[in-house]
Structure formats: structure tokens, C-alpha cells
């Protein structure tokens, strides 16, 4: 039994059986309302962008080949502070002109949100994330890649 200082026997502090997942303390109703509003906006945004993507149908053998090719390559890109930006997409399309699979490294705050980054990258680039672990992901250009689409279309 854990006793906290000055609380007495009837008000002892019990250890939690599960970890607290808050990144910051919420203080007051304004922050709680802001957090709920952010959740609402994220859900609405997910429903807006839930158009089906034309993903390539890869067999298990092709997927394994691409993953081993991507893991052994030294051609990597780093995801900068801007996240999935126009500059990253341009560099990605330039490298896809020569290589099927690109390894992308995420650091800092982007490594925490890998699932969202992967979804944004698939939507904006037209490629497919075929492998993801830690702060790294492999992005496949697709079977019939014809280059980057012009900005006006």
C-alpha cells in the first residue's frame, strides 16, 4: 500500500494499471473543448478524403522483391520539417524516374505520425507505401509509372 504525504490511511494513492497517454495536461474547459474540436475536424477531414485510391495489385513475391530491394538500397530521402511538401514530391518523382522503390526516413514529430504521413504521401504522390517500420518507409511508384502529372491537371 502506498501512502502519500499528509493524506492519511483512507486517502492512499494506488498505482495505475495502465499508462497515462496524455502528452500534455489539460487545464480548464477551454483546452478540453479545443481538443474535442480538433478530433471532430480530423474525423471530418478523413471522411472528405476517403476516395478510393487506385492501388497496384502486388503479389506476395513482387512485394517481397520490392521490400528486399528497398531495404538494401542506399538511395534514401529525409522527410524535413515541412512534412509532405511540394519539394519532397518533386524530389520523389525525380528519383522514381530511375528507381522503383525509394526509402524515406522520418525524424522527430513526423516519426510519431507515420500512419498519417504515409496516407498523405500516397494521396499526393500517387505511389504506395509497401513497408513501414520505426521512422522509415518504402514508397513504390506503381507498375505503370509514366512520370509526374502536370500541376494544372
Domain boundaries of the chain, sorted by first residue: 60-140
Q: Which fold has domain 60-140?
A: Translation Initiation Factor IF3 (3.30.110)
Q: Is 19 helix (H, G, I), strand (E, B) or coil?
A: coil
The model's pTM is 0.59
Tens-digit pLDDT string for the chain (153 aa): 444 455 444 444 445 555 545 555 556 666 666 666 666 666 666 655 444 444 557 889 999 999 999 999 888 999 988 889 999 999 999 999 899 999 999 988 888 888 999 999 999 988 999 999 988 999 999 887 877 665 544
* Neighbour-count burial for 50-71, b at 16+ CB within 10 Å, e otherwise: eeeeeeeebeeeeeeebeeebe
Distance of alpha carbon 118 from alpha carbon 104, whole angstroms? 10
Amino acid at each position: 500500500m502506498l501512502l502519500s504525504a499528509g493524506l492519511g490511511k483512507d486517502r492512499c494513492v494506488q498505482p495505475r494499471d495502465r499508462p497515462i497517454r496524455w502528452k500534455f495536461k489539460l487545464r480548464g474547459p477551454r483546452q478540453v473543448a479545443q481538443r474535442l474540436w480538433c478530433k471532430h475536424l480530423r474525423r471530418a477531414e478523413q471522411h472528405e478524403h476517403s476516395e478510393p485510391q487506385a492501388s497496384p495489385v502486388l503479389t506476395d513475391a513482387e512485394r517481397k522483391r520490392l521490400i528486399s530491394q528497398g531495404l538494401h538500397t542506399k538511395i534514401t530521402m529525409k522527410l524535413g520539417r515541412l512534412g509532405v511538401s511540394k519539394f519532397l514530391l518533386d524530389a520523389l518523382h525525380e528519383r522514381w524516374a530511375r528507381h522503383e522503390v525509394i526509402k524515406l526516413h522520418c525524424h522527430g514529430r513526423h516519426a510519431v505520425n507515420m500512419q498519417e504521413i504515409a496516407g498523405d504521401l500516397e494521396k499526393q504522390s500517387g505511389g504506395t507505401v509497401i513497408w513501414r517500420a520505426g521512422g522509415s518507409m518504402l514508397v513504390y511508384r506503381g507498375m505503370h509509372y509514366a512520370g509526374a502529372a502536370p500541376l494544372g491537371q
